[in-house]
Amino acid sequence: MSNHLIQPIDIDGTLYCCNSGGFFNIGDNVWDYPNWRTIDFVDGDIAGVASEGTSSWTLYGSPGPFYESGSGSIRFATCCLWKATIIIQNVNPGYPCVTTVRLEINDVLIEEITTDDLTFEIAVDLNDLGLMGRACGNLWAIFVEVPDYEALFGGIRIAIEDVTFGPPV
Q: Report DSSP letters for 64-105, one per residue.
A: SSS---EEEEEEEEESSEEEEEEEEEES-TTS---EEEEEEE
| Within-domain flag for 118 | yes
| Within-domain flag for 3 | no
Distance between CA 136 and CA 96 in Å, rounded? 40
- Read off the pLDDT band of 86 (50, 70, 90): very high
| Within-domain flag for 1 | no
Q: State pLDDT tens for residues 118-155.
A: 899 999 999 899 888 776 788 999 999 887 665 556 67
| Within-domain flag for 116 | yes
pLDDT at residue number 47: 79
Please list the residues that pair with 59 across neighbouring strands: 46, 156
CA 104, 107, 109, 112 torsion: positive or negative? positive
CATH number for position 122: 2.60.120.380
pLDDT at residue number 154: 66
Among candidate residues 166, 45, 136, the one with its CA nearest the CA of residue 99:
45
Highest mean predicted confidence (pLDDT) among 104-108, 113-117, 146-150, 160-164: 104-108
Residue ranges making up the domain that contains 85: 9-165
DSSP 37: B
Q: Between β-strands 46-48 and 41-44, what pairing exists: parallel, antiparallel or unpaired?
A: unpaired
Contact yes or no for 68/59 (Cβ under 8 A): no
| Within-domain flag for 2 | no
- Read off the pLDDT band of 3 (50, 70, 90): very low
Distance between CA 78 and CA 35 in Å, rounded? 9
| Within-domain flag for 26 | yes
**pTM of the entire predicted model:** 0.80
pLDDT at residue number 27: 52
Tell me the helix, strand and coil percentages in the chain, rounded to 5.
Answer: 0, 50, 50
CA end-to-end distance (rounded Å), the chain: 13
| Within-domain flag for 4 | no
| Within-domain flag for 70 | yes
Q: Which residue has the higher pLDDT, 78 or 88?
A: 88
Q: Between β-strands 108-115 and 138-146, what pairing exists: parallel, antiparallel or unpaired?
A: unpaired
Q: State pLDDT tens for residues 25-83.
A: 555 555 566 777 877 888 888 877 655 556 888 887 665 555 567 888 999 888 778 89
Tell whether the model's pLDDT for residue 167 goes beyond 90.
no
Give the total number of structural domains in the chain: 1
Q: How many CB atoms lie within 10 A of CB 46?
A: 22
